[in-house]
Amino acid sequence: MESPESSYISSPDATPQQSESNKALDSGEVENPTTFIKFLVSNAAAGSVIGRGGSTINDFQSQSGARIQLSRNHEFFPGTSDRIIMISGKADEVLKATDLILQKLLSEIHSEDGIDADLRSKVRLVVPNSCCGAIIGKGGATIKSFIEDSQAGIKISPQDNGYLGLSDRLVTLTGSFEEQMRAIDLILSKLTEDHRYLQSMNAPFSYPGILFAGFHHVPYPYVLPPVGTSAYNAVSYGPNGVGAEIENSEEDRSYSITIGVADEHIGVVVGRGGRSIMEISQISGARIKISDRGDFLSGTSQRKVAITGSERAIRTAEAMILQKVASVSGR
């Protein structure tokens, strides 16, 4: 049986069609055009937005008239553990739904953390790199005017070339709820004027072909040195969601290493029902195989953990495994 959340997770087929936005522009609906906004929410916050049995998200959609979608569990924005929420519809509908969601999230923070929540809350918008120039403006004039108008802090992340295929950047807004909403209004109005932004409405929530990096690498003795085995094709997704094959690059060659993990710590690597090892594999892009019980590295009581994939995938998977082991070793 499907969980209540499954109706609201995204897929490329479920995203609004580009033709709808084009029709809106062609018909002269300039004052209230079709548009969308994406921002990040934690996994816990995503559950709060959905509500029991989907009650909250249904209510927000009814109140605003906008469509609200969330990325699936473990479909995170690269370099974070946060899911992506997308709101689409007419401009006023999108702003109304954003208002409802952010108020809901802010109330949750208030209930947990008290009166200082407003000062520490922030909104991180997901914006195509090709559209960030419109927000910045010539010599930074546009972003300066937005900051003065809204009184919110606005910071655009640098383009991260560490993630193959990543064409989005984060625009972080800080300040009070009213300041953040004013900044969102200004930014969304500017982005909606850019046809490239509307075209990116159809881009998938996930980032296929991207190998997540950025974890602290803990040195560990390899039993087998990395040995090139075969090349495979990676898929890079551009801002319009069109895939392009990148063949035989050095970064994409497949390697294999084996590390040792103490037998008593294998459980934390595998996780309940295999959840942890599946998550590590999904996030890193590596294939992970653990030896059977009693099959140890020679002269040790450590189980063999074979990791196969690109160099970056292996580094990421190894670091994630060692972080999990370190967390229980520390206790």
C-alpha torsion sign, points 212, 215, 217, 223: negative
Q: What does the radius of gyration of the chain's CA atoms come to, in whole angstroms?
A: 22
- Joined tokens for residue 156: 């655009």
What gap in Å lies between CA 165 and CA 152, rounded to an integer? 30
- pLDDT (average), residues 293-315: 84
The C-alpha torsion from 104 through 109 and 71 to 274, rounded to 10°, is: -140
Would you place residue 152 in the very low, low, confident or very high pLDDT band (cuts 50, 70, 90)?
Answer: very high
From the centroid of its chain, how far is CA 85? 9
Contacts of residue 84, defined as CB under 8 A and 6 or more positions apart, other chains included, come to 10, 38, 39, 40, 41, 70, 71, 75, 76, 77, 126, 205
Beta strand 230-231 with 253-262 is: antiparallel
pLDDT at 135: 95
pLDDT, average across residues 92-119? 76
Q: What is the pLDDT of residue 100?
A: 96
Residue 42 pLDDT greater than 80, yes or no: yes
**Cα(296)–Cα(87) distance, integer angstroms:** 51
CA–CA dist 269, 326 (Å, integer): 11
φ, ψ for residue 203 (rounded to 5)?
-65, 140
Question: β-strands 234-237, 302-309: how paired?
Answer: unpaired
pLDDT of residue 175: 92
Give the pLDDT score at 187.
97
**Residue 257 pLDDT > 70, yes or no?**
yes
Res. 109: pLDDT tops 70: no
Residue 132 structure tokens: 């960030």
